Structure 1
Amino acid sequence: MSVAMDTSFTHFTRTAERAANQVIAAYSTSFGLACRLLGSRHRQHVRNIYALVRVADELVDGVTAEAGLSYQEQSDALDHFIDETHRAIKIGYSSDLIIHAFAQTAREAGIDAVLINPFFDSMRTDLGEHTAAPAVPLRFDADAHQGYVHGSAEVVGLMCLQVFMRGQDTDDDDRSALQHGASQLGAAFQNINFLRDLADDTARLGRNYLGTADHLEDRDRMEWVRTIRGQLADANAVIPLLPRDARAAVRSALALFAALTDRIEQTTVDELYRSRVRVPDTVKAGLAARAIASTWMELRR
């Protein structure tokens, strides 16, 4: 009887992981490429994290609204998702496949409320405030921006770091450096995406994550480019402290976002408000190959 139950649970978990893989395949070819460069002991866990984060993000970015849910129903849906996530981590099971997959990762890597709650706080911020009139546009000053980025992105980087470092013997100084690097990389990714998504965020979602003005100027764009490059540099500096089977993937993702930053630097704000900056697939493949080669050379020294 116990063998059958174990087999059923394992089969269910594998099915949940395949569902998580479908989410990343559908929403991010870039992140999917980086995941393929991870060692096998990390790969599925990071996909599980991405899937939960993506589903929660879609919940507050218009899917529920387009499904016809009222503001209160959207808020209730987010509450249910949050409660079910915490419950699944506690008991090790959820009938929701994406939450179930994430719970297995959270339990193995020690991802707890310290990282999970700030993420969901940022998701709740995205719902905004309900009024009788159309939704009030969200504008973020420096403090609000930092709080939102910490919850929506820095903690996701820290979740991935928890996966990479599980079972590793690391001294306090190295762990502190790694945590700073993971946070900075998450922040850089998010700030780049804010610039890439200016058109959609402002026109469809009524959000301005990068300031309180109605419209960014080119000087604002350049200031954010400088900020992002500093964040990427901080993250790059600690890659050698990561386990060997995580370095190529992180280097590849960092290189991709550095390339996006270069393209954003060459794109006016007016153009950013019209279209989304992208890196061609052939360039992505070249960046991944260079990340693998760089890591291989590093390990041979």
Structure 2
Amino acid sequence: MTTDHVKGTGHALDAFTRTAQGAANTVIDSYSTSFGMATRLLGARHRQHVRNIYALVRVADEIVDGVAAQAGLSVAEQREVLARFRADTDEAVARGYSADVVIHAFACTARASGIGPDLTDPFFDSMAMDLEPGDAPHDAYVWGSAEVVGLMCLRVFLRDESPSVEQLRVMEHGARQLGAAFQDINFLRDLADDLDLGRHYLGERLTDADKDAWVARIRGQLADASLAIPLLPRDARAAVRTAQALFARLTDRVAATPASELYARRVRVADPVKAYLGVRALAATALERR
């Protein structure tokens, strides 16, 4: 039931949208200290939009990563929940409203930034792969689960910009590479959890040589992504630099950890190091001329 005050002002939708955005913020604060810290370095015009994207992605991911199963849902029922969440998202993006606060927040961002089925369809296709028997094809899964999320964030950053064709090409490649790097390093640090779920995103039991090959690939992805950062709007660069630096440091930690240990514990970057990397990214951005 709405209050008389909200009814009287005629801004009930605005009040609902603010509530939806608050719910998106709660999701990111609950699930990711690293990503949450990076988004705080975004300019105000981008910050909430990126948080709205993260919230939708996280809720969808939780549907297929054990939460629904722990609630007692069969695989068929999990597929049904995911399909309903996907359909509700498509409808909300088309209409500009959803009764689901996380979906509503995302829909507002999608409509403002030009995020459409070209990005949401691959994302939900990848989420559905997690509920199918057998291992998902790595490149197809990473494209939908991570690269398109990078492109969603890029559309937020560029919604008021007019980059050249070449600049857009470099930035889109960088966004895809950064998303892929995030996903691949998370695969390496989540080997134990994924094994419990019967998933082998990077292949069967990894050797140290296998791990080293993936680390080399990730470092290449992060290097490609760094080339695009100076082309981003200034008020997006520090946050993206911080995220890139955090995952580069995490990659170093993984590189120094034997593969057998990765199956036993999840490596992390200490909070003081995260803070230092954020300050360093802010300083680097401040020194840029444009």
Provide the TM-score with structure 1 as the length reference: 0.93
Residue in 2 aligned with 1:134? none
Aligned residues: 286
Residue in 2 aligned with 1:39? 43
Residue in 2 aligned with 1:158? 151
Residue of 189, 193, 210 corresponding to 1:196: 189
Residue of 77, 82, 89 corresponding to 2:86: 82
1:139, distance to aligned residue in structure 2 (A)? 2.8
CA distance in 2, matches of 1:183, 1:117: 16
Please give the per-residue CA displacement for 1:134-175, whole angstroms capped at 9, x wherever unaligned.
Answer: xxxx335xxx10000000000000000000000201111100
Residue in 1 aligned with 2:3? none
Unaligned runs of 5+ in 2: 1-5
Provide the TM-score with structure 2 as the length reference: 0.96
1:161-240 alignment, distance < 5 Å? 161-203=154-196, 205-211=197-203, 213=204, 215-240=205-230
Indicate the SS of the match to 1:139: coil
Residue in 1 aligned with 2:270? 280
CA RMSD of aligned residues (A): 1.4
1:3, distance to aligned residue in structure 2 (A)? 8.2
Q: Which moved more, 1:280-289 or 1:64-73?
A: 64-73
Question: Quick one: which amino acid aligns to residue 229 of structure 1?
Answer: R
Question: Quick one: which amino acid aligns to residue 198 of structure 2?
Answer: G
CA distance in 1, matches of 2:41, 2:80: 38
Residue in 2 aligned with 1:135? none
CA distance in 1, matches of 2:176, 2:10: 37
CA distance in 1, matches of 2:169, 2:7: 42
Please give the per-residue CA displacement for 1:176-217, whole angstroms capped at 9, x wherever unaligned.
Answer: 1100000000000000000000000002x1100002x3x110
Unaligned runs of 5+ in 1: 130-137
1:249-288 alignment, distance < 5 Å? 249-288=239-278
CA distance in 1, matches of 2:50, 2:266: 26
Residue in 1 aligned with 2:126? 122
CA distance in 2, matches of 1:218, 1:5: 63
Question: Quick one: which amino acid aligns to residue 16 of structure 1?
Answer: A
